[in-house]
Amino acid sequence: MPSATKRDYYEVLGVARGASDDDLKKAYRRLAIQLHPDRNPGNKQAEERFKEVNEAYQVLSDPERRSQYDRFGHSAFQGPQGQGPFGGFDFSQGFEEVFSDIFGDFFGTGRGRARSRSRRGDDLRYDLEVEFEEAARGTEKVVRFQRLTLCEACNGTRARGGSTGARQCPNCRGTGQVRTQQGFFSISTTCNQCRGEGTIISDPCPKCQGQGRLRKQESLSVRIPPGVDNGSRLKLRGEGEAGYGGGTPGDLYVIIHVKEHSLFVRQENHIVIEVPISFPQAALGCDIEVPTLEGKVNLKVPSGTQSGKVLRLKGKGIIDLHGYGRGDQLIRVVVETPRSLTSRQRELLEEFAKLDGKAVNHPLSKGFVDQIKKMFG
């Protein structure tokens, strides 16, 4: 492209002369995507514009080149074979720089680098169901699961007998990537001979077929601390999949699922239980046996106890998982009305009803009636 026909580089990118580096990069990104040959197959005009945009960005994105261009214009880069004092232009360079965060090694941003040969092992998840009491008190469980472990025959080296018989891959020369030229760009793909490892095992371990790891059934004793709740997650460091190529092992996460209890309901660190009592027990007061996590205890129910009244046993709840004390056991009293009465029971209750007309004995009923009078007059 002769210098007489070249447009101003700032005009090519559509930015002002004082544009920042970020503005230059954004303008270039937008135009490069729009004009890329893959999006405009066979379009010579778009191809020429693409070259023009790349050339403009390579100059303006380099502080030294930009300074020379601002002082001397296009003549700063004129010289033998169209090269100035700074040499010619590699049209792929700017594109790779700007788009490396999007496309990774697709456009060769990983030039000359093999991917890491050691990788951390994967984490594993195990769902464990425990009884209500086990979650409250703590317990120990044996879990059985499968995981990838280091091959004992080669100790993870992938070579027979654990030897270090790995040699550099001749196809990619140890980079793990094979580069091919397509148009203006050098495109990197994973080497199909070493699968991106950069090395080839000439004599692979026969037990693991050169993988370095084997799937194995494992048994592990897991301590369940007191106070775990439904959904609690226990992390067992290093008990996941074995690492690859000397990488660290992953972790095992045990997810707790607590079975429902026939009597107890958990509310944070408190235990709630409903206890039925008869009308005479509620009216006269009584002593009742209440089950707790440690066994039965005697509880005094005061006379005149109403249905729904909550009584508390301090420190009979669940131990806090993080060591912040212990909850209580809450006993919700439910006054049970008999479904059938003997003749004598009915006679006594009818006599009681005649004698039980004073408001002082029924403050809740009196309050309810007073509220209705206020509403309706």
Q: Hey, where are the domains in the chain?
A: 3-107, 265-376
Looking at residue 105, its pLDDT comes to 40
| Most confident of the ranges 27-36, 102-111, 191-200, 271-280 | 271-280
Percentage, residues of the chain above pLDDT 70 = 81
Instruction: In whole angstroms, give the CA distance from residue 103 to residue 329.
Output: 59
DSSP 255-299: EEEEPPPSS-EEETTEEEEEEEEEHHHHHH-EEEEEEETTEEEEE
Q: Which of 218, 133, 126, 202 is nearest to 168 (CA)?
A: 202
Looking at residue 1, its pLDDT comes to 39
Q: What is the mean pLDDT of residues 235-257?
A: 91
Cα 120 from chain centroid (whole Å): 17
pLDDT, one tens digit per residue, over 227-245 is 999 999 999 999 999 988 7
Instruction: In whole angstroms, give the CA distance from residue 179 to residue 338.
Output: 88
Q: In degrees to the nearest 10, what's the CA dihedral of 353, 356, 358, 364?
A: -80
The CA distances from residue 280 to 159, 182, 284, 289, in Å, are: 83, 94, 6, 17
Which three-class secondary structure state does DSSP give residue 201?
strand
The residue type at 38: D
CATH class of the domain whose range is 3-107: mainly alpha
| Assigned CATH topology for domain 265-376 | HSP40/DNAj peptide-binding domain (2.60.260)
Give the model's confidence band at 152: pLDDT under 50 very low, under 70 low, under 90 confident, else very high: confident
Q: In degrees to the nearest 10, what's the CA dihedral of 231, 236, 238, 239?
A: -80
